[in-house]
């Protein structure tokens, strides 16, 4: 309407101008010619709903000629004189749509409307503008398909419609745009494939289709575009390999990242000597980094991260003298960094983290050659040696992250003033003298420091007070799992912006400073596993952002402060202290508690308040091992999210409330060792999620249910309830009858009283040893476990094993034999494994002591559980020593690998997932042993026959006959010459350095674990005849990874249908996923079994990698099966 009015206005104006002189007549002629342009622009304006900068205010103003309107440009010669040739309204935040009347601007050459909020479709009528050379509409909200009619614009040189919401495919009509030089359709929702005819647009200089949903391969015809300088196809779903592009001699930017490309990086890319930016990250590329990339002497950025690249970083990378960014992280690269890399004086960003196999040390003059270095990331590798002091000369350094390596020495005192992040956790860095702590004072000069993580190292002594001088911007500070002593310095509370403070697993003592309440931004406070005493400061309640509070395993006393209600806690861990008094009601009113509340093993008294029901988001609740009394409140049933409940070892009484039936998420319930009574509720049998139920040692009576969880005797523990009857036969309970309600006989009451007294005594001894463990005295502890376990006699074990008959023999080891038997433990007949020591064997007594001591101190789900011991004399009066273990019915890993069980006429073999699970179980056990406090435990004899499997095929590490605490050989000089002290494991599995007489170490266990991994997935023993001194299983596997993995792996893992006609693409996809998974596992095995101890992976890193491999395999298998 507005356009029509303007047109009517123009006609009388033309009549008026016609009566003027010739000069005016000439002007009138121009006005007549651009009348249609005037109308078209007014129509364009009419569809603009919002014009925040009043850019179009001049449009339609009678005093301003059309050619002077904002954004409008007109021609000056010939037929274009006075006609609109360009419309340029950039970054004006215009809201509206593009009017199709723009097509009436006959002489329009340039349509530029980027940086607005234009919606709707791109008008197909634009195809009528035959002079149009440039269409730039990026960064709007345009929708729909790209009009195929635009393919008729023969003069079009620039088309940029990036950053919109366009859909559909690339119109094939665009193959006619032979003059096109720039084609940008990035950041839309295009689908389909990249058409091959793109290669015909030989004038194309810049081409971007990034951030769409394109599929298919990259057409090789792109190699015809010799004028191309920018090729950007990242963030799509492109597959296949990278085509030869060696003819693109003018190419300066090649971005193919974030796709699903496979195959090798073509060496021909090294011929693209004009390249400035090369980005191939986040694909599935394999093979090595081509040496030829070193020819790209203009390259400023090389990004190859998140692929499956292998081999070493080629030395030619040191020729990239212009490079400022080099990113190769998250691959499987190995070997040292090339020395020439440290001569790249323009290098600003270097990232090689999470390759896991990169190693070597750093040149001492590194700082001189990297003056512009800002970011240096090498986390999760195997670099060793010290951090060079000359890093200090990298004065622009902002991030230095080298977590999970093997770095040693001290931290230099001068790591620049721009440092933002310093992450050195999980290394072997130390500080043993005051001078070694000098770095802390130098870091005070880093005013931008926000992240400082020094956990899992070897820092010793007191935390210096200079920690309080660190930047007040510091948000993350961790020194967990070191050897810190002394008090927590009060000055640490100067760091008012701390969000994360972790000092756990040290030897800190004294009280928690009250001033910790000043750290108002704190989200995590972890001071667990120290020797802290005194009370929990009530000022912690001032921390209104605190979501995780961990103070467990200390010597804290006093009551739990009710002020904790002021903290939005999600996790609360204050267990294993000496806290007293009732649990404050306020604690149960912290409705944010969602992960766990662990307050077990304290001295808490009183009853459970009704507010317990407020914890309706909590997943785990453990208040066991206290002195709580009274009944379990009915309100417990409101805890609908609870999965784990442990209320054992208290004085609770009454019945299990009916409301527990409402707790559908419960998986584990432990109510043992209380005074609960009444019937065992029938509704427990209907709780489908329940996997473990322990109601032992209470006063329950009556019929035991037989459905649900009660069908599985291994999932329930009912012993110690002498009034119960019935149940499934495996429970061996008396049948229910009318007499079951009678009172138990006097002798039974006396026996129960004596048994309870014994159990109480055992619990007191257990608490005593926990306390002993927390002391700092270096006294030798008795190397038996008789204090914790009731001994059995020789006669009992003889009866249990039928006089140690050969029919009950289940294994023979270095120091004795293992028999299967059945003994009474806590009035229950239990199947056990009895290890009888051959005391005539040299070292057997020491082996017995070692195994007792290790298993007395170590407890983990993946360690074999010891039940009791026997140190007595046999019927001949000779010394007799034996250990009694939990019997694991599935035997050992050796048999499963090499002597598979036959079931229904078919050999039962471990599948890939089972082997991977077992690998993770064993790694978990080793990590626990190696991080054992106060002294790490070295197993010294890890091999398949020492790994046992339970009912659920969960692996448990056993046979600790050669185990010792770290440095024990040096503390007990009398044993250094004994046969036992000299023994270092089994041939083939023992680390090579043990053969040279070296001391035992965690590195030795890691070596054995690496060999074990290789054996598990190749099913070849390291002692097989094909292996010898010059050709080990390590070399055999290393030579075959990755290309020959399918040939060396245990073929049972890849077995497909017997009928070749039934082999489908689904099977092939699954097979590929299996090979990829096994390849990754074998790489871990290779890394763990390296010749040099310091080059081996740490067991914790191996564990994390295997867990990642398992998760990735599950995901890949699911995707393969869904096709």
Instruction: State phi, psi for 280 to the nearest 5 degrees.
Output: -120, 20
Dihedral (Cα; 394, 396, 397, 398), 10-degree rounding: 180
Environment class of 753 (CB within 10 Å of its CB; exposed 0-12, middle 13-18, buried 19+): exposed
**H-type helices in 836-911, by residue range?**
844-857, 893-898
Among residues 307, 355, 356, 311, which one has the least CA distance to residue 1101? Answer: 356
CA distance readout (Å), 1033 to 893, 922, 985, 1039: 18, 20, 17, 10
Dihedral (Cα; 562, 564, 569, 573), 10-degree rounding: -80
In the block, tokens 């298998």 appear at: 1117
| Catalytic residue ranges | 941
Contact 682, 702 (CB under 8 A): no
Please state, in angstroms and rounded to a whole number, the distance separating the CA atoms of residues 465 and 463: 7
Strands 141-145 and 117-120: parallel
Three-state SS string over 891-926 comes to CEHHHHHHCCEEECCEEECCCHHHHHHHHHHHHHHH
Among residues 553, 529, 549, which one has the least CA distance to residue 540? Answer: 549
Exposure b/e, 568-588, CB count within 10 A at least 16 = b = ebbbbbbbbbebbeebbebbb
What does the longest C-alpha to C-alpha distance in the chain come to? Answer: 143
CA distance readout (Å), 842 to 838, 978, 981: 9, 8, 10
Contact 99, 119 (CB under 8 A): no
3-state helix, strand, coil in the chain (%, to 5): 30, 20, 50
Contact 646, 670 (CB under 8 A): yes
Q: For residue 477, give the H/E element and its range.
A: strand 476-478
3-class DSSP assignment, residue 1036: helix
3-class DSSP assignment, residue 582: strand
Contact 225, 202 (CB under 8 A): yes
Residues 6+ apart with CB under 8 A from 428: 406, 407, 408, 457, 458
835: annotated binding-site residue?
Answer: yes
CA distance readout (Å), 890 to 606, 829, 946: 45, 19, 13
Cis peptide before 668 (omega within 30 of 0): no
Among residues 440, 470, 466, which one has the least CA distance to residue 454? Answer: 440
Contact 146, 124 (CB under 8 A): no
Please state, in angstroms and rounded to a whole number, the distance separating the CA atoms of residues 497 and 471: 9
Extract the tokens encoding 40. Answer: 């078209």
In the block, tokens 């802390």 appear at: 440
Extract the tokens encoding 214. Answer: 């394109």
Environment class of 862 (CB within 10 Å of its CB; exposed 0-12, middle 13-18, buried 19+): buried
Query: Which residues define the annotated binding site?
Result: 835
Query: Which residues define the annotated binding site for ATP?
Result: 835
């Amino acid at each position: 309407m507005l356009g029509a009015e303007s047109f009517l206005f123009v006609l009388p104006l033309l009549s008026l101008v016609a009566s003027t002189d010739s000069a005016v007549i000439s002007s009138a002629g121009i006005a007549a010619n651009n009348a249609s342009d005037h109308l078209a622009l007014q129509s364009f304006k009419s569809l603009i709903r919002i014009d925040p900068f009043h850019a179009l205010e001049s449009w339609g103003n009678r005093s301003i000629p059309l050619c002077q309107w904002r954004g409008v440009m007109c021609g000056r010669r010939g037929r274009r004189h006075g006609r609109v040739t360009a419309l340029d309204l950039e970054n004006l935040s215009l809201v509206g749509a593009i009017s199709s009347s723009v097509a009436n601007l006959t002489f329009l050459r340039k349509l530029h409307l980027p940086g607005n909020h234009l919606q709707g479709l791109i008008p197909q009528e634009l195809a009528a503008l035959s002079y149009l050379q440039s269409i730039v509409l990026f960064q709007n909200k345009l929708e729909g398909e790209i009009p195929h009619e635009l393919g008729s614009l023969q003069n079009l040189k620039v088309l940029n419609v990036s950053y919109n919401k366009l859909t559909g495919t690339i119109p094939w009509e665009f193959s006619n745009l032979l003059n096109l030089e720039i084609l940008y359709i990035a950041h839309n929702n295009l689908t389909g494939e990249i058409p091959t005819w793109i290669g015909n647009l030989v004038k194309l200089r810049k081409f971007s289709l990034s951030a769409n949903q394109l599929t298919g391969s990259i057409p090789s015809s792109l190699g015809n575009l010799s004028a191309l300088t920018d090729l950007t196809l990242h963030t799509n779903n492109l597959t296949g390999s990278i085509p030869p592009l060696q003819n693109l001699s003018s190419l300066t930017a090649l971005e193919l990242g974030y796709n699903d490309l496979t195959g090798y990086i073509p060496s021909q890319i090294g011929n693209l000597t004009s390249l400035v930016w090369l980005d191939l990250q986040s694909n599935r590329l394999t093979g090595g980094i081509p040496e030829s990339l070193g020819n790209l002497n203009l390259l400023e950025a090389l990004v190859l991260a998140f692929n499956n690249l292998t081999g070493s970083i080629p030395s030619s990378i040191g020729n990239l003298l212009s490079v400022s960014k080099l990113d190769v992280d998250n691959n499987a690269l190995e070997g040292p960094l090339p020395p020439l890399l440290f001569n790249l004086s323009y290098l600003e960003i270097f990232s090689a983290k999470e390759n896991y196999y990169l190693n070597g040390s750093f040149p001492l003059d590194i700082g001189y050659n990297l003056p512009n270095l800002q970011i240096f990331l090498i986390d999760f590798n195997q670099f060793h040696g010290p951090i060079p002091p000359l890093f200090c000369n990298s004065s622009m350094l902002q991030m230095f992250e080298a977590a999970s390596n093997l770095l040693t020495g001290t931290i230099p005192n001068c790591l620049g003033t721009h440092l933002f992040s310093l992450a050195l956790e999980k290394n072997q860095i130390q500080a043993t003298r005051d001078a070694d702590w000098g770095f802390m004072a130098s870091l005070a000069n880093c005013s931008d420091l926000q992240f400082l993580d020094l956990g899992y190292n070897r820092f010793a002594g007191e935390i210096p007070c200079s920690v309080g001088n660190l930047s007040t911007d510091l948000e993350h500070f961790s020194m967990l799992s070191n050897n810190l002593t002394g008090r927590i310095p009060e000055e640490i509370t100067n760091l008012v912006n701390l969000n994360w403070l972790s000092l756990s697993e040290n030897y800190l003592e004294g009280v928690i400073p009250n001033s910790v309440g000043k750290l108002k931004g704190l989200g995590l406070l972890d001071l667990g596993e120290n020797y802290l005493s005194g009370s929990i400061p009530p000022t912690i309640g001032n921390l209104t952002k605190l979501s995780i509070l961990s103070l467990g395993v200390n010597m804290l006393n006093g009551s739990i402060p009710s002020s904790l209600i002021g903290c939005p806690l999600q996790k609360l861990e204050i267990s294993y202290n000496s806290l007293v008094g009732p649990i404050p009601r306020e604690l149960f009113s912290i409705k944010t508690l969602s992960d766990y509340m662990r307050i077990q093993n304290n001295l808490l008294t009183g009853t459970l308040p009704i507010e317990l029901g407020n914890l309706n988001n909590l997943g785990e609740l453990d208040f066991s091992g206290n002195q709580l009394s009274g009944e379990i409140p009915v309100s417990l049933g409101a805890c609908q999210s609870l999965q784990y409940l442990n209320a054992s070892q208290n004085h609770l009484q009454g019945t299990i409330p009916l409301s527990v039936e409402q707790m559908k998420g419960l998986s584990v319930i432990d109510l043992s060792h209380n005074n609960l009574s009444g019937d065992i509720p029938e509704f427990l049998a209907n709780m489908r999620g329940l996997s473990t139920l322990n109601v032992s040692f209470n006063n329950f009576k009556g019929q035991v249910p037989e459905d649900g969880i009660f069908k599985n005797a291994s999932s329930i523990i009912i012993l110690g309830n002498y009034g119960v009857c019935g149940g499934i036969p495996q429970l061996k309970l008396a049948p229910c009858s009318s007499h079951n309600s009678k009172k138990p006989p006097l002798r039974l009451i006396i026996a129960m009283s004596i048994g309870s007294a014994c159990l109480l005594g055992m619990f007191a001894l257990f608490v005593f040893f926990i306390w002993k463990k927390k002391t700092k005295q270096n006294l030798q502890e008795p190397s038996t476990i008789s204090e914790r376990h009731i001994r059995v006699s020789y006669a009992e074990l003889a009866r249990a094993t039928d006089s140690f008959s050969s029919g009950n023999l289940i294994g023979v080891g270095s120091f004795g034999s293992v028999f299967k038997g059945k003994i009474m433990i806590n009035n229950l007949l239990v199947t056990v494994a009895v290890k009888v020591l051959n005391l005539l064997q040299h070292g057997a007594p020491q082996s017995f002591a070692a195994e007792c001591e290790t298993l007395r101190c170590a407890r983990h789900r993946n360690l074999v559980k010891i039940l009791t011991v026997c140190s007595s004399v046999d019927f001949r009066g000779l010394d007799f020593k034996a250990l009694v273990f939990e019997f694991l019915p599935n035997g050992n890993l050796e048999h499963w690998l090499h002597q598979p069980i036959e079931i229904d006429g078919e050999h039962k073999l471990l599948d890939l997932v089972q082997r991977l699970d077992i690998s993770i179980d064993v790694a978990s056990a080793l990590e626990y042993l190696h991080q054992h406090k106060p002294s790490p435990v070295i197993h010294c004899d890890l091999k398949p026959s020492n790994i046992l499997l339970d009912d659920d095929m969960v692996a448990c590490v056993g046979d600790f006959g050669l185990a010792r605490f770290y440095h024990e050989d040096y503390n007990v000089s009398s044993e250094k010459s004994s046969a036992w002290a000299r023994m270092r494991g089994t041939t083939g599995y023992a680390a090579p350095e043990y053969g040279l007489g070296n001391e035992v170490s965690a590195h030795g266990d890691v070596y054995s674990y690496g060999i074990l991994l290789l054996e598990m997935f190749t099913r070849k023993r390291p002692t097989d005849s094909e292996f010898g001194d010059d050709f080990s299983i390590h070399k055999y596997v290393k030579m075959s990874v990755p290309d020959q993995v399918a040939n060396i792996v245990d073929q049972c893992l890849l077995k497909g249908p017997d009928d070749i006609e039934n082999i489908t693409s689904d099977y092939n996809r699954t097979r590929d996923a299996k090979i990829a998974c096994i390849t990754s596992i074998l790489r871990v095995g290779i890394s763990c079994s390296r010749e040099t101890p310091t080059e081996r992976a740490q067991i914790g890193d191996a564990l994390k990698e295997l867990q990642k491999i398992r998760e990735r395999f599950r995901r890949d298998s699911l995707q393969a099966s869904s096709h």
